[in-house]
Structure 1
Amino acid sequence: MTQTITMPSFLARHADGAFVLDVREPAEYVGGHVPGAVLAPMSRITSSLGPVPKDRTVHVICQSGNRSRSMADLLVALGYEAVSVDGGTSAWVAAGRPVVMGAHAA
């Protein structure tokens, strides 16, 4: 069963440099993503895991939290320590946090 993290906990972890993996599709990511989030679209996640660390928690995020739960389960099965961010990018925005537009993580 997928471990999840609440938005307040994620905000604190993000401020401390958490690794964030965005599993939305490229057009969604370009339209606005959490600063520092690395894109690994759900549709081709297994071929996008190169930059994903196995030595720290991977915070998996999507738009609302549905896709991220499935992808966090997959990552755990592949040997990663992964948690799904409750509420996803929508909750991030609702918390008044900024998003980055464009194809780059930073």
Structure 2
Amino acid sequence: MYLSTTTAELRQELDQYQILDVRDAEDFANGHIQGAVNIPITELAEAYPKLDQTASYAIICYAGGRSEQASRFLGDKGYQVTNVMGGMGAWQGEIVN
């Protein structure tokens, strides 16, 4: 199970989450939320055991489709996850490279 949030809500609650960006490495390098960790969705099935199960994750991609898949996957594994609807395409906050 997972929750959902908007990018506007995430901006107000950034300190409550570890941001997990599931876009490919090239897209991540071109701009992401400060402090975000990049695990492309294609690598998530192998990499997820390295994630902290006590953390709360906000999962983001470009538009929300891949992050929804990743949120469902991690939620089923027992992680506390929130899908960011609209993704980086809707993000109005600071972006770093």
TM-score by length of 2: 0.90
Q: For structure 2, which runs of at least 5 residues remain unmatched after alignment?
A: none
SS in 2 for 1:48: helix
Query: Alpha-carbon deviation of 1:80?
Result: 0.2
For residues 8-48 of structure 1, the C-alpha deviation after alignment (integer angstroms, 9 at most, x for no partner) is 2101111x252100000101100111111100110011222
Q: Secondary structure at the match of 1:27?
A: helix
Structure number with higher strand proportion: 2
Amino acid at match of 2:4: T
Contact map agreement 1:41 1:48 (CA 8 A) in 2:
no
**TM-score, normalisation: structure 1:** 0.83
Gaps of 5+ in 1: 102-106
1:69 matched to 2:68: yes
* Structure 1 counterpart SS, 2:83: strand
Q: Which runs of 4+ in 1 moved over 4 A?
A: none
Give yes or no for contact 1:64–1:87 (8 Å, CA) kept in 2.
Answer: yes
SS in 1 for 2:13: helix
Percent identity over paired residues: 28
The amino acid of 1:99's aligned partner reads I
Equivalent residue letter for 1:63: Y
* Cα RMSD, aligned residues only: 1.4
Question: Aligned pair count?
Answer: 96
